[in-house]
Structure 1
Amino acid sequence: MGEVTAQRAMLRHFVAQAFSYDKPDHLAVAVSGGGDSIALLHLLAEWAAEERVRLQAVTVDHGLRPEAAEEARFAAEVAQGLKVKHTTLAWGGWRGEGNLQDAARRARYRLMADWAKGQGIGTIALAHTADDQAETFFMRLSRASGIDGLTGMQRRRMADGIAWVRPLLMQERAELRAYLREMRQPWIDDPSNEDEAFDRVKARRAMAALAPLGIDAHVVGRVMDHLSQVRSALDFATHDHALSCVREDRGDLIIGRRAFSEAAPEVNRRLIAHALRWIASADYGPRGMKLQEFLSAMLRGRDATLHGVRLLGGKESFRLTREHAAVAGTRGVPGALWDGRWRIEGVEGEGLIVRALGQDGLLQIGELPADAPPRETLSASPAVFAGNTLVAAPLVGFGPATARLQNGRGDFFTTLLSH
């Protein structure tokens, strides 16, 4: 067996291994037209045929470069040649504000997740490599990231109801290029991969400079694996700590002051960062000094607001609740998910809307039940209105509707171990 043939066998092994834990019946692969994703498409087409798994390919055209449409067509042609159904998704959401790369990445994942759900697909394979992982490490190192950032990308993670799998995360880009050359399969190089205006390209150059020291993608990968084990230990410690000091009450989190203060600062930092993400139903939480200031306010028993979450201090405990200002403009209808957390059921009628109860709704309720949560919590809670008239405020039992907490991030305690 020649060297290239052995390489091909190794790549096939890693692809098969990625799905040995939970083999899907229907799988998608994200394809850009670049060498990494074209290689993964070939490998998955071969594996899916052997395993009798339905495979589809998907490409996102962000419309940001004139070459993008041609790259999507190329990806479609390669997929067609492998008898794999291909779909191109278009994004036109860039308004020239904020971080373009981050906005494009978020849009790509959101578009693919929505498309996959419509196709009955629960797993999407991504072609990130050991090189991508190492570049991510150096990019985050330059931002003084903590352990969560330095552990990099996961081989498998759940997000937006989709399992995102990276079968080639231990393989180098050069290995995939060798495989494609053996297959006599061309690919298209993205010109932005050579543009030093991008941090990822700068990180690639830095890696090349460190090569004489023996620091390459595999060495960085091993370091990240070690850090990942430390992160896992911290996750379990934070989960156990949460069980000892946190309870959930109608979408709020109530934290016992004494038990909270007994944990290590890093465990408490992780717990509160996760709590803020969970209540805000956000992909990312606050970092740095803002989070530290919020933690300081907690320990001093003061009220504070951060990330769309309000802290209500107390003698024995603190309460984290949704901030009214963060949901004041959020509108929905009964039966649909509101604020990424609540589903209102048991009420129907034309023109009914779901919005935050607010002060006007509280005035219409009048005297609150003895067991009602604080007015700050109720003000940001979901309520049903017909025009300006309050129809239902489920969290206080006003009206016919019920509210079911269906946080898009899942159960608070479970998500401490699955983020």
Structure 2
Amino acid sequence: MTVDPARLLADGLLPDPPKTIGVAVSGGSDSLALLHLLHDFAVTHSCTLHVATVDHGLRREAGAEAAMVADTCRSLGLDHEVLHWQGWDRSGNLQNEARKARYQLLADWGRRRQLDVIALGHTADDQAETFLMRLARRAGVDGLSAMPDRFEREGMTWIRPLLGARRAALQAYLESNGIQWADDPSNEDTRYDRVRIRNALSILEGIGVEAEALSVVAQNMSAAKDALNHQMQQTARAYVSLHAGAVAIDVAGLNAQPFEIRRRLIAHALKWVNGAYYAPRSAALGDVMAALATAPSATLQGCELRHRVGKLWVFRELRVVSRMTCDIRDLWDGRWRIAPPAQFSADTGDLTVGALGADGLKLCPDWRDLGLPRGVLLSSPAVWQGARLVAAPLAGTSQNWQAVLERGKDTFFAVHMTH
């Protein structure tokens, strides 16, 4: 069944459309169709539309593609901005790093523009290709789940209003309106997994395994993921307590759960503590869980997991935050805000936030009375003036300073369902 892209987009945005919409446009057919469809929608529904193009600085053609998008936006009377990535530092996987940079650049742009949402041009083809790529990597329920049509990341709300449309339908829409798009040469480069999967999908469709069918399977996996996460959150409410930004899990209660619920709960604890968008890989997490069956502690994804008096504690690893400092007005470690005492004057000196560490903990004589593992306090935020400890809000030496989680305790126990 052919889906009308304009109707699909309107159904996803109505009856309460966002007032300010950002759209990420590369110049390819998917995002360019999204731009024109959103422009028509914005005109008839009194929305304000802003456009951004991310130039990763990796392809010679990128500048010309961004200029083409800028020309299109001028003809439509729309604001357009090119966001430049300063480049890859040669650490990590290039495609993964570029994806992270793209989200960060767009999120920063969205906040500057005070956007309600940012729209992405993912299609049913992207959904099917992603499913097959993850299937080839032997992904589990989460990896095979559908892309959400609405999600939160980097402090912004993102939408995928064309997730149910085929790429061919969007290209037909562009052709019928005399609109040209840019073809990325890398989309034909079979060195990339996605290109090989795309070619394989065309073969699979010949035997009835179509993108629409794969999307339905992905949606079914999303429903299974939601059910598992619901059970995981029920377990969390029964057996988890939170202290000083750390997670304490009752070991007896945890061990009474099926393996998959145990795995999800520990992964959730890690993500809540370290702020990562993705959970650790299943193999790495499985290795840590196996190690913790006999070892007192282990580390994973910037966190320490430690057994202590019938609890499994998950907290920030000191090694990761020991050199991390910021101004007292800024967010430390992506999760802590420091609130000064009422009498505090903003011009009292060069105060910074950094990890308490072993030297700082020595200056907190009452820390043992708190009943917390030493490691929790070592990696906790403290206020420093040079090498002088001013306050350790979580270690019993607060001096009326407070450390407040940016993502509070309620975010740990909330159930996040797939849209």
State TM-score, norm by structure 2. Answer: 0.94
Paired AA for residue 267 in structure 1: I
Q: Does 1:292 align with 2:291?
A: no
Q: Does 1:222 align with 2:216?
A: yes
Deviation, structure 1 residue 261: 1.5
CA contact (8 A) 1:274 1:416 kept: no
Q: Contact conserved, 1:141 with 1:150, CA < 8 A, in 2?
A: yes
Match of 1:411 in 2: 411
CA contact (8 A) 2:226 2:418 kept: no
Kindly tell me the number of residue pairs found equivalent between the two proteins: 413
How do 1:231-246 residues align onto structure 2 when only pairs under 5 Å count? Answer: 231-246=225-240
Correspondence for 2:335 among 329, 341, 356: 341
Per the alignment, residue 357 of structure 2 pairs with 358
Partner Cα separation in structure 1 for residue 415 and residue 396 of structure 2: 29
Structure 1 unaligned runs (5+)?
Answer: none
What CA distance in whole angstroms lies between the structure 2 residues aligned with 1:236 and 1:37? 34
2:351 and 2:414 map into 1 onto residues whose CA distance is: 34
Name 1:387's counterpart in structure 2.
Answer: 386
Partner Cα separation in structure 2 for residue 171 and residue 122 of structure 1: 23
Letter in 2 for 1:46: D
* Backbone CA RMSD of aligned residues: 2.0
Q: 1:270 aligns with which of 264, 281, 284?
A: 264
Kindly provide the amino acid, as one letter, of the partner of residue 302 in structure 2: G
1:83-115 CA-to-partner distances (Å, cap 9, x unmatched) read 221111111131233211111111111000001
Q: Kindly provide the amino acid, as one letter, of the partner of residue 405 in structure 1.
A: L
CA distance in 2, matches of 1:318, 1:96: 36
Scaled by the length of structure 1, the TM-score of the pair is: 0.94
Give me the whole-angstrom Cα distance separating, in 1, the residues matched to 2:184 and 2:86. 20
In structure 1, C-alpha distance between the alignment counterparts of 2:31 and 2:409, rounded to whole Å? 29
Q: Determine if contact 1:340/1:407 at 8 Å carries over to the other structure.
A: no
Query: Which of 40, 47, 53 is residue 53 of structure 1 equivalent to?
Result: 47
Question: What is the CA–CA distance in structure 1 between the aligned matches of 2:115 and 2:294, rounded to whole Å?
Answer: 48
User: Match of 1:266, as an amino acid?
Assistant: E
Aligned to 2:160: 166
CA positional deviation for 1:223: 1.0
Distance 1:244 1:301, change over 3 A: farther
Q: Name the aligned partner's letter for residue 389 of structure 2.
A: L
Write the distance in 2 (CA, Å) between the matches of 1:21 and 1:283. 30
Question: For residues 21 and 290 of structure 1, what CA distance do their matches in structure 2 show?
Answer: 44
State the partner residue of 2:326: 332
Do residues 40 (structure 1) and 42 (structure 2) align? no
Give per-residue Cα distances to partners, 1:331-390, cap 9 Å, x unaligned.
112121101111112155321111100011011223435225222111100001111111
SS in 2 for 1:167: coil
Contact kept in structure 2, 1:281 and 1:407, CA below 8 Å: no
State the distance in 2 between where 1:102 and 1:305 align: 23
Aligned residue runs from structure 1 range 156-235, under 5 A: 156-235=150-229
Q: CA deviation at 1:299?
A: 4.2
Whole-Å separation in 2 of the counterparts to 1:224 and 1:180: 28
Task: Check if 1:87 corresponds to 2:81.
Answer: yes
Amino acid at match of 2:383: V
Q: Is the 8 A contact 1:281 1:408 kept in 2?
A: no
State the one-letter code of the partner of 1:132: D
Q: Is the 8 A contact 1:301 1:314 kept in 2?
A: no
Matching of residue 118 in structure 1 with residue 112 in structure 2: yes
Q: Does 1:140 align with 2:139?
A: no
Residue identity opposite 1:304 in structure 2: A
Identical columns (%): 41
Deviates more, 1:122-131 or 1:299-308: 299-308
Superposition deviation, residue 288 in structure 1: 2.9
> For 1:165-220, what per-residue CA distance to the aligned partner results, in whole angstroms no more than 9, with x for missing partners?
11111111100111011101111111110001111101011112212210111111
Q: Work out the CA distance in 1 between the residues paired with 2:61 and 2:299.
A: 45
Distance 2:104 2:413 in 1: 25
Q: Which amino acid aligns with 1:250?
A: A
Q: Within 1, Cα distance between the matches of 2:217 and 2:417?
A: 21
**Cα contact 2:153–2:277 (8 A) shared by 1:** no
Tell me how far 1:66 sits from its aligned partner.
0.8
Rounded Cα–Cα distance in structure 1 between residues aligned with 2:140 and 2:208: 24
Q: Secondary structure of 1:385's partner? A: strand
Q: 1:62 to 1:415 in 2, by over 3 A?
A: farther
Q: SS of the residue aligned with 1:335? A: coil
Verify the 8 A CA contact 2:361 2:395 in the aligned structure 1.
no
Letter in 2 for 1:313: H
Paired position in structure 2 for 1:23: 17
Range that drifts further, 344-353 or 101-110: 344-353
Single out whichever of 313-322 and 22-31 deviates more from structure 2.
313-322
1:18-72 C-alpha deviation (Å, 9 max, x unpaired): 1126521100111111111111111000001111011111111111111100100
Alignment-derived partner of residue 401 in structure 1: 401
User: Secondary structure of the equivalent of 1:145?
Assistant: coil
1:282 aligns with 2:314: no
SS at match of 1:148: coil
User: Cα distance 1:21–1:277, how it changes in 2: closer, same or farther (>3 A)?
Assistant: farther
Looking at structure 2, the residues matched to 289 and 366 of structure 1 have their Cα atoms a distance apart, in angstroms, of 41
Opposite residue 29 of structure 1, the aligned amino acid is V
Q: 1:201 to 1:110 in 2, by over 3 A?
A: same
Distance 2:22 2:268 in 1: 30
Q: Is 2:253 the partner of 1:254?
A: no
Aligned to 1:374: 373
